[in-house]
Chain A
């Protein structure tokens, strides 16, 4: 596989992973609200959750992105330290914006539509924890030419 193909595949898997995570959360909101809740939505939510796990392994674990952003700094060389530092700082600012945006949407919806029972649910919090851990690696999936799991 060429370097370009590796990069396209890596980016595609990360996008699919986050899209399925989004579907899980949307399905949960529908089920929680009991608006049009059906076995179809249940099935879609469960399928999306399985897809999250299925894409997490090649996108983050096998590609080496997870290892790169979760290894002790003493085990990394100077270039790896530089790229992980950049990705962590970008991920930190991005994650903060996402969290604040969710809180703002929550506050606005709560004020505008009191009947809409929008809650910061368990799946949402779990997704945010997941996002906090995977976002630095996902940034590397976009910015880096090669990652440790892919041979040069």
Chain B
């Protein structure tokens, strides 16, 4: 059975923090090509890997991964600011 596509923010977060694919791969214990597959959303990570990535970036897992296309981070922050006001 083919699972649902899982969208993620790995590429954006990695570029924002200026981390190479290799460094991220080493930190979460995968091959650097696997990071490429994750960023292109060609591969759905296991729950364990998803948690390792979210722990690495310091965000909740649902902020990085979603089953629906993710909004840009700026949009999410704007929405949050509106809610806070």
Contacts and interface: CB of A to CB of B under 8 A. Distances in A.
B30 A77 contact: yes
Interface size of A as a range: under 10
A79 B25 CA distance: 12
Contacts, number: 29
Interface string B26-70: 000111111011000011011011000000000000000000000
Nearest to B38: A79
In the complex, which of the residues A77, A145, A146 has the most CB atoms of chain B within 10 Å of its own CB atom? A77
Interface string A86-120: 00000000000000000000000000000000000
A4 B34 CA distance: 18
Interface of B: 21, 29-34, 36-37, 42-43, 45-46, 48-49
Interface of A: 76-80, 145-146, 148, 152
